[in-house]
């Protein structure tokens, strides 16, 4: 028995040297199970040349590990929404765009492209004004105005609604209006935090999303909040201003998106739209 235990330990060590990982734990009966941890690898990814944890994960399982709904709020806009659409087309991923009615009217061609490429469209209000929840009549008017703007461009009446700021802003009267018009309210359970007023990097966004999806309990689907963003004016704001930070955040979202998709695919996630 002793020589078998020694042979097993040697085999584990040999396998670790071939795979480029370190095996921690006894690897013999009665000891802790082995743990695979990232070792330094010469691929240039991550700090000190270490490979990201996701690239050391097992091959994608035969069944879906988690369903992911990527959602993008506040657009469409002429600068960043087309870049996001290009990435989604190249990656073969469909998502849901939560559209602001006034931006749809400014960028009808972008909204038509969203629908033509198979993405879902939700109503995210016409004005994106947080004050609209104070008056049921004002809320209903804003809802209907956004609905008319979206449906006149796409030919499809939206059936999902995400309130500006999230569902906690909805009053009982607003919820009844949505119910009567056949809307389903959609929140999120993973946020990229890509509207941080202090600024955020692409690397931080990748970590926020991938770790957020990893940390969900059970088999709950992940609804991920991101932003393609509102239409902005011409020119570039001065560094240090809120407008400058906003644009840098949008650039970070575009840079992070293909990495997020790749790492979630490696985890065995599949992507769907909220109107399915």
Q: Which of the residues are catalytic?
A: 73, 227
If phi > 0 it is left, if psi is from -120 to 50 it is alpha, else beta; for residue 87 that is alpha
Read off the tokens for 159: 């059936």
Read off the tokens for 42: 């010469």
- Phi, psi for residue 22 in degrees, rounded to 5: -105, 135
CB of 80 within 8 A of CB of 125? no
CB of 206 within 8 A of CB of 232? no
Q: Among candidates 273, 233, 276, 252, which has minimal Cα distance to 97?
A: 273
């Amino acid at each position: 028995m002793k020589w078998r235990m020694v042979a097993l330990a040697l085999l584990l060590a040999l396998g670790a040297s071939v795979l480029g990982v370190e095996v921690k734990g006894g690897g013999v009966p009665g000891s802790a199970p082995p743990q695979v941890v990232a070792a330094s690898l010469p691929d240039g990814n991550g700090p000190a040349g270490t490979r990201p944890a996701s690239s050391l994960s097992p091959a994608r399982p035969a069944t879906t590990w988690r369903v992911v709904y990527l959602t993008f709020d506040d657009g469409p806009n002429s600068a960043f929404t087309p870049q996001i659409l290009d990435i989604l087309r190249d990656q073969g991923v469909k998502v849901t765009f939560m559209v602001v009615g006034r931006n749809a009217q400014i960028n009808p061609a972008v909204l038509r492209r969203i629908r033509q490429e198979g993405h879902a469209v939700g109503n995210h209000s016409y004005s994106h004004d947080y004050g609209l929840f104070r008056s049921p009549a004002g809320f209903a008017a804003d809802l209907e105005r956004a609905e008319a703007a979206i449906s006149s461009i796409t030919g499809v009446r939206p059936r999902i609604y995400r309130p500006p700021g999230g569902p906690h802003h909805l009053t009982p009267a607003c919820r009844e209006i949505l119910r009567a018009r056949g809307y389903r309210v959609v929140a999120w359970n993973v946020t990229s935090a890509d509207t941080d007023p202090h600024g955020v990097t692409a690397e931080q966004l990748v970590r926020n999303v991938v770790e957020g999806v990893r940390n969900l309990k059970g088999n709950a689907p992940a609804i991920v909040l991101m932003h393609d963003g509102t239409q902005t004016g011409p020119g570039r704001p001065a560094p240090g201003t809120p407008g400058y930070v906003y644009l840098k955040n949008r650039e970070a979202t575009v840079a992070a998106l293909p990495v997020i998709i790749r790492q979630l695919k490696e985890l065995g996630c599949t992507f769907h739209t909220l109107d399915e």
